[in-house]
Each structure stands twice: as C-alpha cells, then as structure tokens.
Amino acid sequence: MVDKEVNALAAVLLERVGELAKEMATRIRAGAREHHYDVVPAEELEEACRTHLGNALRALTGQVPLDTGAAADIGRRRAVQNVPLPAVMTGYRIGVAFFWEAVAAEAGRNPLVGRDVLIEAASAMWALQDGITEAMVSGYHEAVADRLLAHEHERSALVEALLEGRSMDTDAVWSAAEILGVPRNGPFAVVAAEVPQIGRYALPEVATLLSRRGIWSAWRLRPDLQLGIVCLRSARDWTDLTEVLRQHAERRVGVSPSYDDLYRTADALRFAKVAMRGGDADSGAVTVFDDSPIAVVSAGAPDVMALVATNVLGPIEALPAGERALLLDTLDAWFACGGSADEAAKSLYVHPNTVRTRLRRITEHTGRSIADPRGITELSLALRAVRQTPKPTGTTETASD
C-alpha cells in the first residue's frame, strides 16, 4: 500500500510538472544569482527543471526506470557555458529543496497520505536525486576533460608549427602567440630532451614545475624527443630553468641560445638538438648551447668528430675496456676540474700522483701532451666526441687501476 500511495502522489505531481518547473527555475535563479547562473537562458533553465522533475516523477510512479542521460547532457551543457560546478551544485540543492516542498505540500493536501508514506516518498526521492546529480556531475567532468584535451591538442599543434617553421607568416606567428598566451617577443629558448622510451615524456609535469616559478612554457611530444618553448625574462629564469631540468632529466637535454622573435623558433630547435647531442650519451646531462662551446662544436658535426676521435684517441679505444674507461674517466675529471690534478684526484678518490701517472699514459698512447695547448684542444674535442656516442646496448665496462 505504501508503494502504491507514493506512486499515486507522484502521478498527481506529474500532472503539474510544467507549473512546478517554472517555479523551480525561478527559485534557482533567485538563489544562485551570485553564482554565475545568469549565463543560462531562462527558457533553458526552465526546460532543464521540467526534464529533471519529469524524469524523477515518472520514476516515482513506478512506470519507468530513472533516465539519467538527460542529467548528463545538462551537466555537459553547463560546463560548455562555463558555469562553475559549485554554482551548478548550488542550483541543484535549491531545486531538490523545492521538489521536497512540493511533495510534502501535496501529501499534506491528501488526508489519506500518512507519515509512513511521506517517509517512503522522501527516501525514494533522495535516491532518485542522487542518481540525477551523479549523472550531471559525470557529464560536467566529461565536458571539461574534452575541452581541456581539445585545448591541449590545439596548443600542441601550434607549438609544432612554431618548431617546424612551416607555413608560418608574420600574422600566423602573431595568432599562435595570442592563443598560447605568450608575448610576441622574447627572450625565448627551445628545450630538446631525449625520451626514455617512445611515447613517454622525458620531463613529466615540466610545464607545471616551471609555472610554479613564474616561467611560461609550451611543450610537444614526438616519438624520440620532448620539445618545449620557454619564455625567459631574466637571468633568474634561466637559472630556474636549468635547475628544474637537471633535477628531472633522465636522458640528455639541450637548451638553445636565447632568441627574441618566435619566428626564429625553428632555428633555435636546431641549436637545442645540437646542444642535447653535446651531452654524455645515456646520461641526464643538461647542456646549454651558450655555456658549452666545445660540446656543441663536437656535436654539430658528428661524422667529422668521429674521425677526430679515432685519430686522437684510437690507441686508447683499442685498450681493454677497463683500462680504456680508467684513462678516459681520468681525462674527463681533469678537464672538469680545470686542469688540476689535485682536484681531479679528489673527485676520483685517488692520490694526485695516480692522476698524473694516468695522464702521462694518455700522452704516451696518443702523442698529445696536456702541457701543449694544441694537444689539450684535440684531446678535449676527441673526448667529447667519444662521450656523445651512445654505447651499444648491453655493453658493460669495469675499471681497475
């Protein structure tokens, strides 16, 4: 009997659904006025109320199951209209409160509707409203996700166009800058980072990390590289950029020289790639083009530098793996420490005389002396060429003095 009386109560209210929807829309607009609900046209809000009330009341009559598809559609519509979700939820709370008032008022007019019927009606109504609200929120989130994805695709395509420099006249560059939300003039820099695997980001969340430091950037993922355009307004921005890159890089990263016009982004990309190749292979080295002339020179002509490396370091490359690694690591440390055997010894955890002995062995094998400026230059360039060449997969080396 209780179920039947609830069904009958819903059927009576269903006959007044148009009137109830109009009053509900009025309540929502008045109660949510400060929550940006004015962007929803009056006719559309009333129709949404009619849809929700009709679906809920038809379900309460027991004739049809609850239809949540319309609620999801309305949620998507509110997202497109840029109505904040808290404002939509406020509107729904006002609507549910009105719905309950209408049910209670109708029950009060019928002397045959007892307390148990009203309790059952309340329980059923709240269950229905939970389903409707959940569907609306789900639709809202779907629309927001779709819009963000479309926006990200648009940004990614514009970044790619700037990086490639194809079909980008002055007006197109201006439009790209406006959509990306970046000044037309820099200074800018391009970042090129090797990805650890195809489809994986080399620098996850890098845009967010830079944004927290007040640095704008836009990124594009390619199969082999993650590329970014970064706006750097001050020396501090450059410091923050390199700090973030060094903290999160898994593979080699290169940073181009500074440039002022977005139209030159494609050229900057070329320099960023050269700088990236200037770092040690299979490492997280971050190489800034302007700060690493030897590295970028050797990376700029890899075929030529491979021959230079063979001519200069060929005798050392022919040594057993352990001995070769020992001598090259010592030479690398000596260069990194500004030519100081004492400092190199500290970094290698050996005695300075051990470093000097190894350096003499390098001179004996190569014929290049570290006391001769020309010898130093040739050894430095050859070493960089060796370090920039990836080791064959599965290669392992051990070193012993």
Number of domains in the chain: 3
Together in a domain, 193 and 281: yes
387 vs 38, higher pLDDT: 387
Mean pLDDT is highest, among 81-85, 163-167, 176-180, 295-299, for 81-85
Domain match, 288 and 306 both: no
393 φ/ψ sector (left φ>0, alpha ψ -120 to 50, else beta): beta
CATH number at residue 268: 3.30.70
In this structure, the answer to whether residues 31 and 139 fall within a common structural domain is yes
Express as a percent the part of the chain with pLDDT over 70: 83
Rounded (10°) angle between helices 293-300 and 373-387: 60
Alpha carbons within 13 angstroms on the beta-carbon side of residue 368 total 22
* Residue at 161: amino acid letter: A
**Token code pair at residue 235:** 């020396």
Residue 169 confidence (pLDDT) = 60
- If you ran DSSP here, which 8-state letter would residue 35 be given? G
Given this model, what pLDDT does residue 36 score?
A: 59
- Owning domain of residue 31: 2-146
Residues 326 and 359 in one domain: yes
Residues 316 and 249 in one domain: no
Query: Is the pLDDT assigned to residue 393 strictly greater than 70?
Result: no
User: 338 and 267: one domain?
Assistant: no
CATH code of residue 374: 1.10.10.2840
Same domain, 139 and 180: no
Residues 324 and 282 placed together within one structural domain of the fold: no
Q: Which residues contact 305 (CB under 8 A, 6 or more apart)?
A: 298, 299, 381, 382, 384, 385, 388
Q: Do 194 and 325 have their domain in common?
A: no
Between the alpha carbon of residue 39 and those of residues 10, 24, 73, 219, 383, the distances in Å are 32, 17, 17, 34, 66
Gap between the Cα atoms of 369 and 291, Å rounded: 26
Task: Report the percent of the chain where pLDDT is more than 90.
Answer: 13
One domain for residues 289 and 311: no
Residue pLDDT, tens place only, 229-255: 898 988 899 999 999 999 998 888 999
pLDDT of residue 171: 62
Helix (H, G, I), strand (E, B) or coil at 388: coil
pLDDT beyond 60 at 2 = no
Torsion over CA: 302, 306, 311, 313 (sign): positive
The residue behind tokens 């836009």 is 218
Can you give the pLDDT at residue 242?
Answer: 92
Arithmetic mean of pLDDT, 376-392: 77
* Mean pLDDT, the chain, integer: 81
Q: Where are the alpha helices (DSSP H) in 318-372?
A: 321-336, 341-348, 352-366
